[in-house]
Amino acid sequence: MTRLLAAALALIGLAACAPPSPAAQEGRLVVAGYGGSYQEAFEQAVLPDFEKTCGCRVTYIAGSSTDTVAKLKAQRDTPQIDVALIDDGPQAQAAAMGLLAPLDPAAVTRLAKVEKVARLPGDVGVGFAMTATGLAYNSEWYAEHDLPAPTKLSDLADPRLKGKVVLPSISNTYGVGALMLAARESGGTVEAGFAAIKKVAANAFTFDTTADVSNYFLQGQAVASVWGGSRVETLADKDFPIKFAYPEKGAIPLLATANVVSKSPHAALAQKFVNALLEPAIQRKLAAEGYDGPTVTDATLDAALAKRVVGPEQAAAMTPLDWKDVNGNRAAWTDRWTKEVEQ
């Protein structure tokens, strides 16, 4: 969900803040976010304009969401990061540890336009990009083998899919999503979820830990998986016959969140940065470039693009995970998953 965020953030220079005041000119913003090509694009295409418009200096620190949370924990007493861009699961952990500050509605004025599913408890952070965890499948292979499109997780337990399913490991967010989809379909309990996911696992030839199963599809090893809608659309752009299906019991929202760090040394500028991510122009760019659905109500998309991202109707039908409960039980679930599912 972060692959092309840099392209969207190129618009921040226009929306992040008003003409710089003397205080802002002396400011410095430290942003911790995702690495790789995103970091490179961010440093080349985003920071110069942002610094010029805001009269501030920006330092970017790359790392995964869990890496960023670890840094915030280590710097609890003397934070060196102002803004943290992290996925919703690790974000819930950081919030519970008191590492993140509530957003100021006077500064983050765009909060009022944020969809309910992207509003976080106490407005400690906010979802600025959204996709869905659901079912991915090779539509061409399904048609050739006379299989109907999947509508629920248990469809991946079909014997005809033996050795053709790749499941995400519970070590990544999609794996947690797979277990929760199984639980919802089977009555709502985690116990029932484990029983259901084991039936699907009988068809799995591997459990991916990277959260990116593209190569398995491209090489023909996999024809079905539990995956994210934005990743499916990105692969579809390569003329690959892959489609995304929302499960009957509802998909699970997956949010990228923007957060002001507790005791941030440049909190005012950090609040403005978060507000900029919620501007309609940036939200539209996120959707167009990375198929991340807008989290604000006033970011209109053209009809063709709207069909490929999480829209208001899908967002309203999704129930977020209770990350407090998930994070509290994840170690035990991981141990059980390793023994019972990935065996």
Q: What is the CATH number of the domain that holds 15?
A: 3.40.190.10
Domain match, 47 and 152 both = no
Positive or negative: CA dihedral 276, 281, 283, 285: negative
Domain match, 126 and 269 both = yes
Domain match, 163 and 237 both = yes
Domain match, 331 and 283 both = no
Domain that residue 300 falls in: 5-130+253-317
Q: What is the pLDDT of residue 40?
A: 65
Whether 327 contacts 92, CB under 8 Å: yes
**How many independent structural domains does the chain possess?**
2
Q: What is the pLDDT of residue 188?
A: 86
Domain match, 145 and 199 both = yes
Domain match, 163 and 301 both = no
Helix (H) or strand (E) holding 270: helix 267-277
Distance separating alpha carbons of residues 221 and 338, to the nearest angstrom: 22
Q: Average pLDDT across each block of 10 residues of the chain; the chain has 343 residues. List them in order.
A: 48 46 59 70 65 83 89 96 93 96 97 93 95 97 98 97 96 92 93 97 93 92 96 93 95 94 95 88 82 93 95 87 92 96 90
Q: What is the pLDDT of residue 21?
A: 40
Domain match, 238 and 111 both = no
Q: What is the pLDDT of residue 73?
A: 97
Chain-centre distance for alpha carbon 243: 19
Q: What is the pLDDT of residue 4?
A: 47
Domain match, 176 and 186 both = yes
Domain match, 82 and 206 both = no
For 78, residues 6+ apart whose C-beta sits below 8 A from its C-beta are none
Domain match, 183 and 235 both = yes
Q: What is the pTM of this model?
A: 0.82
| Residue of 291, 251, 264 lying closest to 31 (CA atoms) | 264
Classify strands 252-261 and 100-101 as parallel, antiparallel or unpaired: antiparallel
Whether 130 contacts 292, CB under 8 Å: yes
Q: Is residue 164 helix, strand or coil?
A: coil
252 forms beta bridges with 133
201: which 2 tokens?
């696992």
**Cα-based distances in Å from 198 to 33, 182, 313:** 35, 10, 31
Domain match, 213 and 335 both = yes
Domain match, 65 and 90 both = yes
